[in-house]
Amino acid sequence: MQNPDIGDDEALLRLVNSVIWPGFRGRTLPGWAEDALRDGLAGLVYFEQNIGGPEEVRALSARIHQLNPAAVIGVDEEGGIVTRLEARDGSSTPGNAVLGKADDVATTEAVSAWTGAIVAAAGIDIDLAPTVDVNVDPRNPVIGVRSFGADPELVARHTGAAVRGLQSAGVAACAKHYPGHGDTSTDSHLALAVSNATDQQFHEVHLRPFAEAVSAGVKAVMTAHLRVPQLGDAPATLNPRALGLLRSLGFDGVIVSDALDMAAIRHTVGMGRGAVLALLAGVDLLCIGNPVQNPQHPDGPTDEMEYLDVRDALVGAVRSGELPASRVAEAAERVAALSVWVRSQPRAAAAPPAPDLDAIVTASIRIVGAARLAPGPLTVVDARTKRNIAVGAQVDHFTRALSSYREVERVWLTDAGTAEDAARRAADVLASAAAPVLIVNQVQSNALEAGVVDAVLARRPETVVIVAGWPGPGEPGAAANAVYAYGSARVNAAAVARVLCG
């Protein structure tokens, strides 16, 4: 590739802008984002806090495309526990774990096509989905029910179906989190994650779904801030060897970084330096992340300062010669080709009705023990701790769904202090309850939840335990009456309530 002409500041600014993909605060575009779009910004990523009503989102998307017709708008719309467009009322789809349990690729493709349709109707160009990690470690705190399962062949066939479904709606799919976040016990939002896979497991298990995504024609792949010892010390996002391996699978689309504001990058090399190293490693599009998750910068709004941190680091690296302008131009060409593909796709003018998935979701529920609710009002103790950052804030759909059948008193334990305090309080609350219910996420991943379960079952062994997350190697307690929901989206919760109360 020839070296692009960057002889003036404006040309250099447009070049580096063309590979930067920030988030922003609020439901209207801030001035800095409008200016950056006019100056060639690659696009913007929506998070829950950017989403208003359907007409409001469409108008926002139209404004972005007016300022830069080539801009690519992205969103994390996985379905299930990760939704932005349906965050207010809960996802209409149950998430990958339920689809994997059903193991009907036609259903997965149809659900993904519907998801693509609501993304397209919002004027959005790329869905940061599907999650194709093979969740072989049940302790995994960041993937869990976002995965289709622990069997690489099952995950691979549903990966292909999801990619085809999404892209049939005219939006680009983005398989994540390369090279596979399923064999980790660390959340890369909070620290650098390390894969526990052997070399054979890495190649035969974790790469398998990405190869299938490539075969299905996926337009983008998102990297993980994940260290795979076989590939060296650098996390995949910053690792030329890891990204070269992805290209060797035949992938020539856009490599998107996971958010640079995640602790695995932000608290190690820093966001600006991470952006430079990511491009040098082979990343094409630099996702900055969700500014509302981060502390306000003393010199101004977080969104603008984070964008400037990345932009100025790239400008400095190109000027110094450390980052070849040709490498940035190569990345920009891939992003531009993605934009051209999206613009060429037919799209429905409006989102279709949500699919009827009640039977599939209900069939996915697993019951251990009696799991029968006693008569009378329900007392629900919610012992789930803060969900991972990818999920974001969510309504407690379980209590809402149960409330349609019974009177419910809900107690939330996340402010209970220590794990011992939480266990004591939960046991005390449910000791005299007419119909005790306990909600947990993944007992095997969380000492607080495990302690609460033990304390509650010691006092009230008949308590019905709703397990929202990935199932562990054992049941939540020796005498538990448990309901495994495989997700906590609105449709998952509604199915649990029907099973318990209907």
The residues annotated as belonging to the active site are: 189, 258
Hey, which residues does 75 pair with through a beta bridge? 46, 127
Task: Provide the 3-class DSSP secondary structure of residue 328.
Answer: helix
User: How far, rounded to the nearest angstrom, does the alpha carbon of residue 195 sit from its chain's CA centroid?
Assistant: 18
Please give the Cα distance from 471 to 464 (Å, whole number).
16
Q: Would the CA dihedral through 54, 83, 148, 240 be positive or negative?
A: positive
User: How far, rounded to the nearest angstrom, does the alpha carbon of residue 422 sit from its chain's CA centroid?
Assistant: 28
Tally of residues, the chain: 502
Hey, which residues does 428 pair with through a beta bridge? none
Tokens of 251: 């992938």
User: How far, rounded to the nearest angstrom, does the alpha carbon of residue 430 sit from its chain's CA centroid?
Assistant: 34
SS (H, E, C) 167-235: HHCCCEEEEEEECCCCCCCCCCCCCCEECCCCHHHHHHHHCHHHHHHHHCCCCEEEECCEECHHHCCCC
145 secondary structure, DSSP code: G
Please give the Cα distance from 229 to 196 (Å, whole number).
9
Q: Encode 11-30: b = buried (16+ Cβ within 10 Å), e = exposed.
A: ebbbbbbbbbbbbbbeeebe
Task: Provide the 3-class DSSP secondary structure of residue 116.
Answer: helix
How many beta carbons lie within 10 A of that of residue 363, not counting itself? 12
Q: What are phi and psi of 422, to 5 degrees?
A: -65, -45
H-helix or E-strand containing 306?
helix 302-320
User: How far, rounded to the nearest angstrom, does the alpha carbon of residue 217 sit from its chain's CA centroid?
Assistant: 21
